[in-house]
Chain A
């Protein structure tokens, strides 16, 4: 059974159709890149998978380990291992990062019927993960993403990914707003999480990110559907020729 199976998905926002019959199959251990120009519907796909309100699915389905994902609340999806690394992680003043991480991790564990982490066990785990990602301790004491640089925000997303150990990671435009050094740190963090029982869907506008996170499959999205799929070489091809060739195909 595929980990994620998107079948012929149609999605509307405010009566405007954004996704027109999109299909995608992702198996455990695979890294998929979804590339496409602005407005092709890449972020919409990531939001619908995570369960963001405001999107109306008018056709098709999304199966996650064979279950109807669209029937699940966003928190149920998270507990079952779906993780969206946000393109623009929000700032939450007044909620310390540590408190947030512990509340989230324990909420997921509770939903799965697992025991909650004790405070010392949790602190130990966070410290280990943070050290591996070069996240300083003082970042963890601050409000969630408050005053974080673009790179720190993205590292905080990857820190959460490492802490929650999801089965399906959707990385939405992880490279946006990052300089090359910050990008490399973030990509190293992601690569460290690649594993045979974890799949990743890397959404990006630019080929650049894929020099650091090497995908198994590359899909080109245009006007709300996938118009071409191939191996990692497809990304290089796009780099050379651009997206315009797919406009007609869509």
Chain B
């Protein structure tokens, strides 16, 4: 784990980036100290590389190579381009919270139209509150560690802090949109969603590029805390620019008798890693953690999930589907931990990859660590090509090769997408898949 490699020139440059960015980073005193500590932690580790087991398939030293300078705060032109990007989003009738180049954009957000019971602040406000240095906890104290998470803490410029009051049932989805307008720059956002007991909500997250934005780096952390008896449906659609990098840490804590249904859908980005950490904090809770990656060209998308069954009598289901064309590379790492106290755990994970070309690659790594004896755990993984006999049947009925493939691919990813309960969100995911298929030609 603690392999020390010689620091590259590029990594030395990163410390200059931090120094240069410092004036722009919100928060002084303890907040600034927390940033410094986090940056120190990042510097000691450097970019994760293949000799670190959990980064074996996603070697950021090779794939990312360097940390780009912090994106400039959005100016009027950037906001205009972001607005244009928002206009082309299909998601309608949501409560929108927009971050442009890592900075909350109130003018593009629906702050005045929030439903009652929803409270939104920005990370910047919270960190800059003079009398309240203790908000340094927003930059640390998370359940997981890692160099990219530390880098996020050091450089986080903004984010949204959303609380949904106890017993509130939202009518419209909350929609957090990350728009990138700058090229060859990096953004760091850190958001929190806290749901009080008995709350019911839908969270949609979108990562999009404004016109002409390319080769940028996104580093996001989202911490979602479900109280008891909460129902949350979460859909994340990552459609970043084809040469962009997206590293996201998503940390979920699930209270007793709560239900979380989450889907991460990746069709964009050149290199991406979605690292989900889902921990049960109370008994009788259920998690559906699903993922779909549709990749082409030389895209590399990594979904790494850690289901932490820390308490008894919880259920988790993971369905992951990847469709990999050309020379693209899909990674799925699913770790399920059943801790000694977590009796009556019921955990299942199924991952399937569809390879559409001889050069496509899919790596599936299930890891079950079971320390309790009265549990039901299972996993399965398959990798294969489209079934020739099905393709022929469809072609014999008049579908072209591409049409036949498209129908079978939609059915394949449909198994994960169908798990979304909200019709509107499911349609968005289906439409993202269709756009990918249409772009395939």
Contact = CB atoms under 8 A, between A and B. Distances in A.
B412 A94 contact: yes
A100 B395 contact: no
A164 interface: yes
B363 interface: no
Interface stretch (A34-42, A70-78, A197-205): A70-78
A52 B408 contact: no
A2 interface: no
B396 interface: yes
A107 B400 contact: yes
12 contacts: A50-B396, A73-B395, A75-B398, A78-B397, A79-B398, A90-B387, A92-B390, A94-B411, A100-B394, A100-B397, A104-B399, A108-B398
Contacts of A160: 397
A51 interface: yes
A248 B138 CA distance: 88
A84 interface: yes
Interface in A62-115: 73-75, 77-79, 83-84, 86, 89-90, 92-95, 99-100, 103-105, 107-108, 111
A100 B398 contact: no
B415 interface: yes
A95 B409 CA distance: 10
Interface residues on B, range: 20 to 34
B393 A94 contact: no
Range, interface on chain A: 20 to 34
B115 interface: no
A78 B390 CA distance: 16
Nearest to A54: B388
A104 B406 CA distance: 13
Contacts of B410: 94-95
A160 B401 CA distance: 19
A99 to B, nearest CB: 8
B397 A86 contact: no
Given A53-B388, A90-B389, A107 B399 contact: yes
Contact of B408 (A53, A92, A104): A92
Given A92-B408, A92-B411, A104 B397 contact: yes
A103 B389 CA distance: 18
Contact of A74 (B387, B389, B395, B415): B395
Name the residue in B387, B390, B394 with the highest tally of chain A Cβ atoms < 10 Å from its Cβ. Answer: B394
B397 A164 contact: yes
A89 B397 contact: no
Interface of B: 387-390, 392-401, 403-404, 407-408, 410-412, 414-415
Contacts of B393: 86, 89-90, 92
B413 to A, nearest CB: 9
A75 B395 contact: yes
Given A78-B397, A83-B396, A92-B393, 13 more contacts: A50-B396, A53-B388, A75-B397, A75-B400, A75-B401, A75-B403, A79-B398, A92-B390, A92-B394, A100-B394, A107-B398, A107-B399, A108-B397
Contacts of A77: 396
Interface in A150-185: 160, 164
A86 B412 CA distance: 23
A49 to B, nearest CB: 10
A73 B401 CA distance: 9
Contacts of A75: 395-401, 403-404
A99 B399 CA distance: 12
A124 B393 CA distance: 25
Contacts of B415: 94
Contact of A78 (B389, B396, B414): B396
Contacts of A52: 392, 396
Contacts of A78: 395-398
A107 B394 CA distance: 11
The 4 closest A-B CB pairs, nearest first, are A94-B411, A108-B398, A78-B398, A74-B395
A143 B415 CA distance: 12
Contacts of B395: 51, 73-75, 78
A52 B392 CA distance: 6
B390 A90 contact: yes
A125 B410 CA distance: 25
Contacts of B394: 92, 100, 104
A100 B387 CA distance: 16
A86 B387 CA distance: 16
A105 B398 CA distance: 7
A53 B390 CA distance: 12
A100 B407 contact: yes
Nearest to A74: B395
Nearest to B412: A94
Nearest to A144: B393
A94 B388 CA distance: 16
A160 B394 CA distance: 12
B329 to A, nearest CB: 25
B388 to A, nearest CB: 7
Contacts of B411: 92-95, 143
Interface centre among A77, A86, A94, A164 (most CB of B within 10 A): A94
Contacts of B397: 75, 78, 100, 104, 107-108, 160, 164
A174 B393 CA distance: 16
Contacts of A99: 407
Most buried by B among A51, A73, A93, A111: A93
Nearest to B406: A103
B208 to A, nearest CB: 28
Nearest to B417: A94
Contacts of B392: 52-53, 74
A19 to B, nearest CB: 19
Contacts of B390: 90, 92
